[in-house]
Amino acid sequence: MLQDTYRHKGLRKQLVNLIRSKGIHDSGVLRAMETVPRHLFMDSSFLEFAYEDKPFPIGSGQTISQPYTVAFQTELLEIKKGEKVLEVGTGSGYQTCVLMELGARVYTVERQKSLYMRTKLFLPTIGYNPKMLIYGDGYKGLPVQAPFDKIIVTAGAPFIPPELKHQLKPGGFLVIPVGSDNQVMKRIIRTGDSTFGEENHGTFRFVPLVEDKAFE
Ligand code: SAH
């Protein structure tokens, strides 16, 4: 069932070449994406779409992010082995696994219960074990486990949740798409106790980061 064949590996190599041609140069990021079997994160009847550079529905109205977007956000994070990383929006768990391939210790939060349960059961079956996979509201971050070296938000945020900025270590990064219809990819850098730098890195389109709704 959970097979990763030469055909899959070949398709993945082509996808990585495409992502490289679109401007991703970090060799660690490209290697991680060549390793994680994206087809296993989607329903097997959609196999032919797994290695296209497109987002894809994963149920509960959510999507697995476009591979280029995953690569772009991951590159901006500049992950070093052993870093403690918070991901907001676990979804399929694909991005989670890319971060783990780079040696990150990943804490990930999902607010949709059905997705949370599915991904929590699924990841260990393909050999990935995040430090924590939590059902909750990512706007609040994880105050008990904070601070983090890096934080990534994988849904479009209407504003930058202040809690997330304050759960960064000094020198840490928050990579977050901000906006309602389209989003600007922002990288926030904690430069001091209460000082932050902010960079813009182009426009993207994400499903919305949902605030304080019933968690179903
Ligand atoms: N990283 C995922 C992308 C999933 S899409 C992947 O690789 O597949 C974004 C996810 O963010 C969705 O699963 C959605 O349910 C989740 N989400 C939306 N609002 C959230 C919130 N407030 N807290 C945590 N997760 C949230």
Mean pLDDT per 10-residue section of the chain, whose length is 216 residues: 86 97 98 97 82 90 93 98 98 97 98 95 97 96 97 97 97 97 97 97 94 60
Question: Which sequence positions are flagged as catalytic?
Answer: 65
State pTM to two decimals: 0.96
Q: What distance lies between CA 143 and its chain's CA centroid?
A: 19
Total residues belonging to the chain: 216
Contact 88, 66 (CB under 8 A): no
Q: Is 77 in the pocket of ligand 1 (CB under 6 A)?
A: no
d(CA 75, CA 64): 18
Protein residue with least CA distance to atom 18, ligand 1: 209
Q: Nearest-5° angle of CA 135, CA 141, CA 142?
A: 75
With H, G, I as helix, E, B as strand and everything else as coil, classify residue 167: coil
pLDDT at 1: 56
Q: Is 109 in the pocket of ligand 1 (CB under 6 A)?
A: yes
Q: Is 188 in the pocket of ligand 1 (CB under 6 A)?
A: no
Q: Is 69 in the pocket of ligand 1 (CB under 6 A)?
A: no
What is the identity of the amino acid at 1? Answer: M
Alpha helices (H) along 51-204: 67-77, 94-101, 113-125, 162-166
- Residue 154 CA, ligand 1 centroid: distance in Å: 6
Round the CA-based radius of gyration of the chain to a whole number and report it: 16
Contact 202, 184 (CB under 8 A): yes
Q: Is 65 in the pocket of ligand 1 (CB under 6 A)?
A: yes
Which residue spans within the chain are E strands per DSSP?
Answer: 56-59, 62-64, 84-88, 105-110, 132-135, 148-153, 168-178, 183-190, 196-204
In angstroms, the Cα distances linking 201 to 44, 111, 131, 188 are 34, 26, 29, 11
pLDDT at 185: 98
CA-137 nearest atom, ligand 1: 23
pLDDT at 213: 60
- Residue 14 CA, ligand 1 centroid: distance in Å: 27
pLDDT at 61: 83
Sketch out the chain's domains with CATH numbers.
Answer: 6-204 (3.40.50.150)
CA-139 nearest atom, ligand 1: 22
